[in-house]
Structure 1
């Protein structure tokens, strides 16, 4: 074959050979080919990978096996159990204990109001207990006139607010903000009353009683306050100076009722009228009686005078 381009025969034959038999061309590998192979190796040997990770972190912290963490968990569990027991002792259960304080009847409400206003006729102030399922339990208010309840305190609390607002309206001094002001003020006095009595029982190291009992006895004063409001705005102008005598008598009646009712809480007695707690000395007994007098006469008297003005 002749060379049309004028090249040498050796060069021209080499070019023709390359055109007839092309050399294979090799492309560069993809960048992620190594990563793909590495992922396949990880899928084929997962156990070896986890073992290698553990070998890479031999000092990794284990929370479950740490003694300090176990001790903290034990303290937290103990604190939760103690707080739960405290709530059960002082508040009880909503579905169980609170129903006890609303088991009232019409005859009980009528007799209880008369007992608050005229307590001198009552001879026995001890509560009636019954033994059911081997546990001593007190009878509900519907079966025991001396049992505390929450129906009369709550209803008298609401009646006092409505009655006071009604008398203000009759005097031409009513405005809508009166309800909020009176409700907040009355609630503040009630909370202060309960806190004072609870702190006094704690300082005197008395037996634990439920908060419902304290709220109940602290709320009975609204019965006397309602009576004073009615007397003041109806026949108070005709009584003159004798009105203050009526105020004094109602305060004394409420004080006698509270002292005789709370006596079995501050100084619990058994059937023979002897003190159950033999650790109470004569000095401690005297201090408890003084606290009972201050709370029932002075504190309740000041609150009644202020809220019935």
Structure 2
């Protein structure tokens, strides 16, 4: 039996037919496929962005954390001078970041820390002037200096505890010091929140602002502990009382001024009960200062 050879296969068949270029997807054009893929990617990206916005609306501490680390060398120098010698400077009126963001667009004008924040489904938000960044306002709260102060205190406390006062220093001592500092910080912020509720202040002390205000005292503690360690032991108790008095008075003055300033209205008047809140906040920190000042002694 003989088979007839058919016509040769034409490689240009797909280019000569009347239906245009074909693909392996049932004849779907490549341009349509690319358009569908691009639309899908855009839809997924929009969904991710919307999810992040809704999440940050319920977690303002995340969206506002960056502003507390927006510092510069000049700011750090000025702020350290304010912390160490708060009596020598006049506290200016609070500054605002003109047009840098409002509560409506979720910028730096949003309520700071864990302050009140509208629900994502609440519609339009109240527009509020944005506070100035630390780089533009030396009296703005930051977390960089408190973080450095806390870290330095842990190291300096271990040094004084071991070398100066001849006590055993171990990893457990470092961990216990850090844990105790966190406990004090938590208790102080809880008291701040409770005071705001009891005094019926509309905007209580935000958590990040409370952490900043409570963290500045460790800069003072580091300086006075280092100064006290270089003096001879005969007059140590007298110096202990003098330095302790200065730490308490300087930190109380600074805390009072910072909190009252944060509740000062544009016309220069402080909000009702703001001074009482500031006074109680200064008193709350005294037990922590006394305890952390005496901790390197091994007591």
CA distance in 2 between counterparts of 1:259 and 1:218 reads: 12
Q: Deviations over 1:255-307 (max 9, x none)?
A: 11110110134x4322x3234x5xx4xxxx3xx534422321x3222211111
C-alpha spacing 1:130/1:160, structure 2 compared with 1 (3 Å):
same
Among 78, 88, 97, the residue aligned to 1:130: 97
Q: Which entry has the higher C-alpha Rg, 1 or 2? A: 1
Q: Are 1:126 and 1:146, in contact at CA under 8 Å, matched by a contact in 2?
A: no
CA distance in 1 between counterparts of 2:195 and 2:232 reads: 36
- 1:116-265 equivalence runs, <5 A: 116-132=83-99, 135=102, 136-170=129-163, 171-208=166-203, 209-235=205-231, 237=233, 239-240=235-236, 241-265=238-262
Q: CA deviation at 1:131?
A: 2.5
Unaligned runs of 5+ in 1: 1-83
Q: Secondary structure in 1 aligned to 2:268? A: coil
- 1:1-309 equivalence runs, <5 A: 88=57, 92=60, 94=62, 96-132=63-99, 135=102, 136-170=129-163, 171-208=166-203, 209-235=205-231, 237=233, 239-240=235-236, 241-265=238-262, 267-270=263-266, 272-275=267-270, 280=272, 285=273, 288-296=274-282, 298-309=283-294
CA distance in 2 between counterparts of 1:133 and 1:114 reads: 28
How many residue pairs get aligned? The number is: 211
Q: Secondary structure in 1 aligned to 2:265? A: coil
CA distance in 2 between counterparts of 1:238 and 1:108 reads: 39
Q: Secondary structure in 2 aligned to 1:256? A: helix
Unaligned runs of 5+ in 2: 1-53, 103-128, 295-299
Which structure has more helix as a fraction of its residues? 1
RMSD: 2.4
Q: Are 2:83 and 2:254, in contact at CA under 8 Å, matched by a contact in 1?
A: yes
CA distance in 1 between counterparts of 2:101 and 2:292 reads: 45
